[in-house]
Structure 1
Amino acid sequence: MAKEYVKFVDVTKCDGCKACMVACKNWNDLPVEETAFQGSAQSHPKTTADTWNVLQYIEHENAGGGLDYLFRHSSCFHCTDAACEKVCPENAISYTDFGSVVIDQDKCVGCGYCVQNCPFEVISLKEYKDKNGKEYRKAHKCTMCTDRLEEGLQPACVTTCHTGAMEFGDKEAMIRKAEKRVQEIKGRYPNAQVYNPQGVGGTHTVYVLAEKPSVYGLPENPKVPTSAVAWKDYAQPIGKMMLGATTMALVGAFVTNKLFNKEGKEQDGGGSNE
């Protein structure tokens, strides 16, 4: 079994150069996107199906009344207990031995439940057309460069970071390093903390943040929806034993649509304007 890894991101060392974005685009052969002006040095408002990692720029007034310019490399967190994996009705999302969470494009049907239920909003759907012109969708996100990990290499974003703001290594070693770094910078950043939310079982992208998570647009305490836990960890295994895998797959598609389709719930409760 492969060793479990963590990508450690120290935002206090980041200078906003965007080399990580370029490296990600190059390695994964992702196309250029035209985006509207963001009003800052930030090029994209968030990750997309064709931009799996975004450098965030945040202007923040500190406790002393001064202005801090904060940066954050934003990509998939690769949760240990991932909501996207639990709500996928096709079992298209899985964990690797490295700790990364990946999407099997051959199984993905573009239902969008993973997009709607990701607490970090890092998954997006991309539109495609087949040879007959029929449209279909696939979910995309950062893979933690799992293909590189399988060859003994590090993620492309990590290898190109010239300030040492990103490191990649053994899970426990990286978490210890993050905790030590927080103690080193507490004098300058009183709110500094390790961001490794336990509500999703911990993550395989662990941050040292200079401020509270909300300052970076992150949820303070993200959790896997209770309905997703009950369905994936209890109802599905029991149902397969009682009904069989094929029947349970049909039941699963129906239940998943009812439980996890947030857009559907909003439409049902909002009435019609027509």
Structure 2
Amino acid sequence: MAEFVKYVDVTKCDGCKACMVACKNWNDLPAEVTEFQGSVQSHPKTSADTWNVLQYIEHENGKGDLEYLFRHTSCMHCKEAACEKVCPENAISYSKFGSVVIDHDKCVGCGYCVENCPFEVISLKTYKDKNGKEYKKSQKCTMCTDRLEEGLQPACVTTCHTDAMQFGKKNEMLLKAEKRLSEIKSRFPNANIYNPQGVGGTHTIYVLAEKPSVYGLPESPKVPTSAVLWKDYAQPIGKAMIGATTMAVVGAFITNSIISKSKNKNKQDEDGGGSHE
């Protein structure tokens, strides 16, 4: 089946927040009390109850003028997702559409996916069972996979009145992004297409007016090599040799090492890296 992509053109976004409202409504997410952000931005970042955030960024352009930049922020749905690699319970997988989804029946709330997401869009939510005992589950944008199964588009896309967000087959959306980039280069010299190959490309691609770091995006996110070795080699071999239960214990030790290495690597990537066009 063809891969699908959510295309986001930040130069067309007017900051209306309709995408945030649509996401809350469709996914039945509760309202969330947040501290005053000092601007029109309502939430500092995505959370377990807010999977979609409209960012407002004050930026001084090349002419010395102060301008607001907007960015729709949610899960990027990486083709090679670090969260999927480090999950010791195989609770994270790829749908036939390319979206990255969490199976909450398998999720044990270990938080490895939260720590390793290069875009910081996964959060843990605390629940209570019938006896009052607390437990946690990972939460994030699903790219409305349930809607896609019914032939519908993601809720955020359907409510965007400026066509800043569109959804379709990957090759068609990439061509659209290339065309738009050529149209805006004279106005935005630093404009680029954000589809980082260090994570295999993403199923949410952006046309950005400025460098990724201006929007709070890592310049060159990558899946840690240790995570790849763990998921693709150590875990399958280990399970075959010593059994799944024992391997889960071993996995906890290995994944803790992944977390530490991933944090250091992501910080280095954010401090310096190339653009993605």
TM-score band by shorter chain is over 0.9
Please give the alpha-carbon distance, in whole angstroms, between the structure 2 residues aligned to 1:264 and 1:218.
Answer: 15
1:226 deviates by 1.4
Match of 1:170 in 2: 169
The aligned counterpart of 2:186 is 187
Cα 1:264/1:95, change in 2 over 3 Å: closer
The residue aligned with 1:155 is: 154
Contact 2:87 2:113 (8 Å CA) reproduced = yes
Q: Give the whole-Å Cα distance in 1 for the aligned partners of 2:237 and 2:87.
A: 17
8 Å CA contact retained: 2:4, 2:98: yes
> TM-score, with normalisation over the residues of structure 1?
0.92
For 1:211, the aligned partner's letter is E
User: Are 1:18 and 2:12 an aligned pair?
Assistant: no
Deviations 1:131-172 (A, max 9, x none): 111111111000000000000000000000000000000001
- Aligned-residue CA RMSD in angstroms? 1.7
Displacement of 1:264 after TM fit? 12
Tell me the distance in 2 between the aligned counterparts of 1:206 and 1:114.
21
Contact 1:116 1:262 in 2 (8 A): no
1:176 to partner: Cα distance:
1.1
Please tell me whether residue 34 in structure 1 is matched to residue 33 in structure 2: yes
**1:54 paired residue number:** 53
CA spacing shift, 1:263–1:83, aligned 2, 3 Å: closer
The one-letter code sitting in structure 2 at the alignment partner of 1:162 is H
Deviation (angstroms), 1:236: 1.6
Aligned to 1:233: 232
**2:205 partner SS:** strand
Out of 247-256 and 137-146, give the one that drifted further: 247-256
Which has the larger displacement, 13-22 or 131-140? Answer: 131-140
Does 8-17 or 248-257 show the bigger shift? 248-257
Q: Which amino acid aligns with 1:12?
A: T
Q: Report the 3-state secondary structure (helix = DSSP H, G, I; strand = E; otherwise coil) of the residue aligned with 1:202.
A: coil
Mapped partners of 2:262, 2:19: distance in 1: 33
8 Å contact from structure 1 (residues 92, 105) kept in 2: yes
The amino acid of 1:198's aligned partner reads Q
Aligned pairs for 1:194-233 (under 5 A) are: 194-233=193-232
SS at 2:31's partner residue? coil
Shift in Å at residue 246 of structure 1? 4.4
Aligned CA distance change for structure 1 residues 262 and 226 (closer, same or farther; 3 Å): closer
| Whole-Å separation in 2 of the counterparts to 1:245 and 1:132 | 29
3-state DSSP of counterpart to 2:89: coil
What's the secondary structure of 2:85's corresponding residue? helix
In the alignment, structure 2 segments of 5+ residues that lack a partner are 265-277
> Aligned partners of 1:264, 1:68: CA distance in 2, in Å?
31
* Identity between Structure 1 and Structure 2 (%): 80
Does the 8 Å contact 1:158/1:168 carry over to 2?
yes
- Listed as ranges, the gaps of 5+ residues in structure 1 are 266-274
Contact 2:13 2:164 in 1 (8 A): yes
| Contact kept in structure 1, 2:14 and 2:70, CA below 8 Å | yes
Q: 1:264 to 1:178 in 2, by over 3 A?
A: closer
Question: Is the CA contact (8 Å cut-off) linking 1:113 and 1:261 kept in structure 2?
Answer: no
CA offset at residue 252 of structure 1?
2.2
